[in-house]
Structure 1
Amino acid sequence: MQDLKTIEIETNPNPTASVIWLHGLGASGHDFEPVVPELGLPANAAVRFIFPHAPNLPVTINGGMRMPAWYDIKAMDLDRIVDTEQLMASSDAVARLVDQEIARGVNSEKIVIAGFSQGGAVAYELALSYPKRLAGLIALSSYFATAATVRLSEANRDIPVNVYHGTRDPMVPESLGRVSVAKLKEMGLNPAYQTFPMEHSVCLEEIVDIGKFLKQHLLV
């Protein structure tokens, strides 16, 4: 996969921390741009937010239509039959963004990986397998598609994880969020899990809590 195009927002010059945030199916890097001011970060926080654009791929469940996608979804059942090779390729492409941040002077332990829906599935794979210690993983309305195959790195064996889900989600049932948390616990991680009375979306309470997570793990 070619290098990803991105949108970058810096809360202050000379960032000392980074958040790489992956959008969902059919969206773009612009999707979560409006979230940054709502996170409640301190005025002096210097954080670089990176919002990559997924490549355009044919998506089977949408009649083969090409759209921004991190991987193909072949069937909308509870097991989410996905193109694992494409998911891994997307994970590798995002890993290059992490490498880029480290090359720009950001310590890997000050980099958080976040993802919504499809983006969350990629975030799970990347953050748990990345060879250097990361600051944290955030999964929103998502599922752990590669739980059976991920190679958990020693560096991130106890990475802080926050998982969020809507109890009324018709696209990714909340049960998939609970299954993801259970799989993480089986691997020895200790994820936090919160639900909100919403559909396949985000809400202000969730964003505020994410802001607290970022302050705890990036700004201390």
Structure 2
Amino acid sequence: MSESANLSLIELETGPGPRAAIVLMHGLGADGNDFVPLVDELDLGAVGPVRFVFPNAPSIPVTINGGYVMPAWYDIAPDRAREDEAGLRHSRAAIEAVLAREAARGIPPERTVLAGFSQGCAMALLTGLRHGQRLAGIVGMSGYLPLAGTLAAERSEANQATPIFLAHGRQDDVIALERSLATRDALQALGYRVQWHDYPMGHSVCAQEVADLNRWLLDVLA
């Protein structure tokens, strides 16, 4: 385990001299280990060696959970209407530091995919669409677009044409499907290239989603 800025990181490489990187943020109350099994489920051999980076969110009090301290990228209010802008922007800065570290180690942004699940999806969209250098792709699983009202003014021209993979469960009782559909529509209205998928599942990841993601990753990292 290593560190970048204030985040601890779990790293796995599929071979020596990685030629691409996938940075994947976990959801509320989880940690980087949550998605480590994905490394063995994906077959990216055609891309060459890949470095997977799983940042761990800091532990903070989460209002919607009674103030209980748990790993979270930002706070969530009980009515979910008020966004924790300060927390979102603080975590964005930490993830930007992870991206800068990958670039410094020789994997350029255009060979890096920024991905996340649930709260991690929110962070991937928040950070990736504002990142100053072109990324290979952005992945949002079972999440939504945070600070949507500021995106048009804050988005980076560098990632206007970056492919986006969005996926959601039709039976998700944590983040409603409608919220993810609204994210898709908002991004498409701003001209983004969104590949949309929905699945007969709850707030989780299914085998078909992994297969679809695998094909998409092979395409954007070709």
TM bucket normalised to smaller: over 0.9
Q: In the alignment, which of 20, 24, 41 is matched to residue 23 of structure 2? A: 20
Q: Structure 1 residues 44, 180: CA separation in 2 closer, same or farther (over 3 Å shift)? A: closer
Residue deviations 1:138-163 (CA, integer Å, cap 9, x gap): 00000101111131101001110010
Per the TM alignment, residue 43 of structure 1 is displaced from its structure 2 partner at its CA by 6.9
Gaps of 5+ in 1: none
Query: 2:7–2:94: 8 Å Cα contact kept in structure 1?
Result: yes
Higher deviation after alignment, 57-66 or 185-194: 185-194
Per the TM alignment, residue 39 of structure 1 is displaced from its structure 2 partner at its CA by 1.2
Query: 2:19–2:47: 8 Å Cα contact kept in structure 1?
Result: no
Q: TM-score normalised to the size of structure 2? A: 0.94
Amino acid in structure 1 at the alignment position of 2:215: K
Query: 2:5–2:98: 8 Å Cα contact kept in structure 1?
Result: no
Paired position in structure 2 for 1:169: 172
Aligned ranges for residues 83-122 of structure 1 at < 5 Å? 83-122=84-123
Gaps of 5+ in 2: none
Paired position in structure 2 for 1:47: 50
Aligned ranges for residues 44-193 of structure 1 at < 5 Å? 45-77=48-80, 79=81, 81-150=82-151, 151-193=154-196
How many residue pairs match? The answer is 217
Q: Pairwise CA RMSD of aligned residues?
A: 1.4
Higher deviation after alignment, 63-72 or 31-40: 31-40
Q: TM-score normalised to the size of structure 1? A: 0.95
Amino acid in structure 1 at the alignment position of 2:128: A
Per the TM alignment, residue 3 of structure 1 is displaced from its structure 2 partner at its CA by 2.0
Percent identity at matched positions? 41
User: 2: CA distance between counterparts of 1:90 and 1:144?
Assistant: 15
Amino acid in structure 2 at the alignment position of 1:175: E
